[in-house]
Structures are given as structure tokens and as C-alpha cells.
Amino acid sequence: MNSQNSQEIAHKDYTTLNLGPTHPATHGIFQNVLTMDGELIVSAEPTIGYIHRAFEKLAEKRPYYQITPITDRMNYCSSPINNMGWHMTVEKLAGIKIPKRVDYLRVIIMELARISDHLVCNSVIGVDSGAMTGFLYVFQFREHIYDIYEAICGARLTTNIGRIGGLERDFPQDAWTRIDKLLVDLPKGLKEFEKMLVRNRIFMDRTINCGPLSQEMAMQYSFTGPNLRATGIDYDVRVMNPYSSYEDFDFIIPVGTHGDTYDRFMVREQEMWESISIIRQALQKLEKLEDKTSFHADVPAFYLPPKDEVYTSMEALIYHFKIVMGETDIPKGEVYHCVEGGNGELGFYLVSDGGRQPYRLHLRRPCFIYYQAYPEMIKGAFLSDAILTMSSMNVIAGELDA
């Protein structure tokens, strides 16, 4: 703080307001100590780390397949994307090639997770501006998506979906029925949600020009994901560095113009429509593939062999033992892989020394990196706008602190 600032502050009567770690509107626990001039914010001092669970240190003590449940708990609104990202990182390191059918199945799961994440974020923007009904309507669809996850892997929220080398089992018939039903119900539900908010005069007045972000600032603060795309830059990891056969899919990248809350809301809304389209395309592509049964790569060194083989064949027994005891031969090396998470580029920098655990796993968490810009974004804004800006940035505490 230079001397001119402290002179200003000495003259004026600023109040300090603690937007504390526990607050109904900060969805997640992080603290902001605001210096306010009446209702306008002069400066903000963020404090994070209230849910620091030492993921990077934990990962150094666990075998590779035991790290998946940890990655679940980063962005817990869309945990399948984190899981898939981690599996793809290990597959890149070990040089495992995944069959197309598995890629398409993974795409379906990841797009469902993206819809789930954006539904939370958009309905919560509604709640924070006073529109509670949208939240209740939209959570019904999240329940349907949870039912699909449950049919595939057994868990609702922290899914631990997939294995290194593919998926743990093929989708059951129940999952296909539910996905088809979702593709019929969700568009209707989204249209209803949009009718409530998108051209709503009150909502537009609240959110337009609220927390604007310029393209230069977004790039300097390493923004990614819908927050960056709302400023007009069309950076999407699925297009820049395609993974899991995303290059076979045809989708647009929605971008905004001003980078304010309304644009962020609309970008997420459009991305949900694009995700629905991607899931439809994936279903069609799966129909056309000759391979209709495989759900994992043929890598017995990393993927558990079927149980009846374990009981009858010697090699399968040895592989099973080695994998379960964590003595798989991951090659020495380092790799960086990124996926498009709900908030942007979720990166995994994995360094392996050939042992049963990673030597170092660094998680590139989008929330952590772009939350730095929050004090800049709310300078000079009203307190209520600051609250809306925070919820529109979709800051998830698990990803912020890790």
C-alpha cells in the first residue's frame, strides 16, 4: 500500500467487513476481508485454505488407482471429469491406447458431468439474485444424472468412475434407458429454466455489467473455462488439445462479449445445450461402431483381468496380484495432461520414478488460479454485485484448496 493510498484511507471513513468463511452466499469456504466505502468496495483481501486437504501430498503415498477417489473430491460438482482426466494422464504415461468405444463412453460421462456442474452454477446465480425456483426445478435433473451415475458405477456424487485402461464395466441397459429419457426431459427443463431467467428484466438488470472482465486481464490471470469464454476468447481444451476422441465431435464454443455475470451465465447455458448435442452424437457414433462390447483396453498389466480367468489361469492371477498390491510397472518419466473441466483447464503434472506411487503429482486447478483476480474484479462495485460475481465465477472450494 503506497503512501497516497494510506492518506486517502486516513481521510475517509472506511469500514471493514468480513465476508467470512461461513456465509450463505459463498458456496464453499473462503474468506474475504472487504474494505468498504459505504456500500462500495474499495479493496478485498482473500484468504483461502480453510479446506486444504493436502491432495498433492496424499497422492505421493498412494498407488495410482487409489488416487482416483482423491481427484473426485476436487471439483465435486463434476467429479467424473476429474477421474477421467487422471486416468488419461496415467494412460499417457504408461502408453496405453484406448479403444474408440471407450472414448465415446467416456465422452458421454464427461458431458453429463459438465451439464451437472453448469446446472449447479447457473441455478446458484439465480438463488443469489433471489430466484430460488430455478434451483428447485433444475436439481430434479441433477437427480436424474445422479441416477445415471449410480447405474454405471454405484455412487452419486464422488463417483470414482472408470479405471486406468477404460471403464470398470459396460453401461447396463438401465443406464441407456435413463440417458435416452434425460435427452428428452432435459431440453424441456432447460427451456423452462431459461424462460424464467434469460430475458427476465430483473435478472438482466442485476447481472449485466456486474463483475466485468476484460480479455487482457483474463489472459494475464490465466483464466480458462466459461469465465474466459465469456470475455470473448474461445479457448477450450477439447478443441486445442483434443483427448478421448473429441476431435470426432461437432460442437461450437459459445463465447460472450463483455465478460460480465450475464455473459458467464449465458455461456454456461449454451454449453449445456452443446453438451446435450455431443451426447446425442456420441450415441449415434456408438451405434455405428462395429465394436459393441469392449469397455477397456487390453492391458492386463494395468487393468484387472476378469475373475474367472484369475481363478483358472496363472498369468491372470499374477497380474491381479500385482495390480491389487500396487506393484504395476509404470515407466519412469513425467507427463502433463489437461482436460476441460467445469471451470476450465484441469491439468495433471505427473512425475513418476518407476515406483508404485507417483513421485510428485501437481494439480493445475483452474479455480485456484483465477480466483486471484477476484479482488480486481470487484473493485468499486457494490457488495451485492460482489456476491453475484463470486457465484458466477463458480469457485468450488475443493478445487480452490486441494
Partner 1 sequence: MANITKAPAGFEGPGFFATKIDSVVGLARKNSIWPLPFATSCCGIEFMATMASHYDLGRFGSERLSFSPRQADLLMVMGTIAKKMGPVLRQVYEQMAEPRWVLSVGACASSGGIFDTYSVLQGIDRIIPVDVYVPGCPPRPEQILDGIIKIQELVASESIRRRDSAEYKELLASYGMQ
Partner 2 sequence: MDAAFVSEKIKSRFGDKILADEMLYDMQCITIRQESLHDLVRFLRDDESLGFGFLTTMNAMHFPDAGEKFSLVIHLHAWKQNYRLRLKAFTNQDPPTFPTFTNLFPAANWMEREAYDFFGFRFTGHPDLRRILNMDDMEGWPLRKEYPLEDQARYDKDDKMFGR
Of 12, 57, 191, 195, which lies in the binding site for partner 2, with binding defined by CB under 8 A?
57
Strand partners, 348: 337, 363
- For β-strands 360-364 and 15-19, DSSP reports them as unpaired
Q: Which residues contact 276 (CB under 8 A, 6 or more apart)?
A: 111, 115, 183, 186, 187, 190
Query: Nearest distance from residue 164's CB to partner 2, in Å?
Result: 16
76 binds, among partner 2, partner 1, none (CB under 5 to 8 A by kind): partner 1
Instruction: Considering only residues 131 through 190, tell me which ones interact with partner 1, judged by CB under 8 A.
Output: 135-136, 139-140, 142-143, 146, 156-158
Q: What is the DSSP annotation of 41-62?
A: EEEEEEE--TT---HHHHHTTS
Q: What is the DSSP annotation of 84-117?
A: HHHHHHHHHHHTPPPPHHHHHHHHHHHHHHHHHH
Rg of the chain taking only CA atoms, in angstroms: 23
Of 14, 17, 20, 233, which lies in the binding site for partner 1, with binding defined by CB under 8 A?
20
Of 31, 63, 362, 384, which lies in the binding site for partner 2, with binding defined by CB under 8 A?
362
Our finding on whether 401 is near partner 2 (CB under 8 A) is: yes
Would you give the DSSP letter of residue 67?
Answer: G
Query: Nearest distance from residue 244's CB to partner 1, in Å?
Result: 25
Strand boundaries in 285-327, DSSP class E: none
75-85 CB burial, b ≥16 within 10 A, e <16: bbbbbbbbbbb
Binding mask 56-85 for partner 1 (x = CB under 8 A): -xx----------xx-xx--xx--------
Long-range pairs, 170-178, Cβ under 8 A, ≥24 = 170/293, 170/295, 171/105, 171/295, 175/148, 175/151, 178/144, 178/147, 178/148, 178/151
Our finding on whether 38 is near partner 2 (CB under 8 A) is: no
In the complex with partner 2, the residue whose CB is nearer, 36 or 369, is 369
Instruction: Considering only residues 168 through 227, tell me which ones interact with partner 2, judged by CB under 8 A.
Output: 219-222
Our finding on whether 398 is near partner 1 (CB under 8 A) is: yes
Binding stretches for partner 2 (CB under 8 A): 48-49, 52, 54, 56-58, 60-61, 92-93, 219-222, 235, 240-241, 333-336, 338, 345, 347, 349, 351, 360, 362, 364, 368-373, 401-402
Binding stretches for partner 1 (CB under 8 A): 20-24, 27-29, 49-54, 57-58, 69-70, 72-73, 76-77, 120, 135-136, 139-140, 142-143, 146, 156-158, 397-398, 401
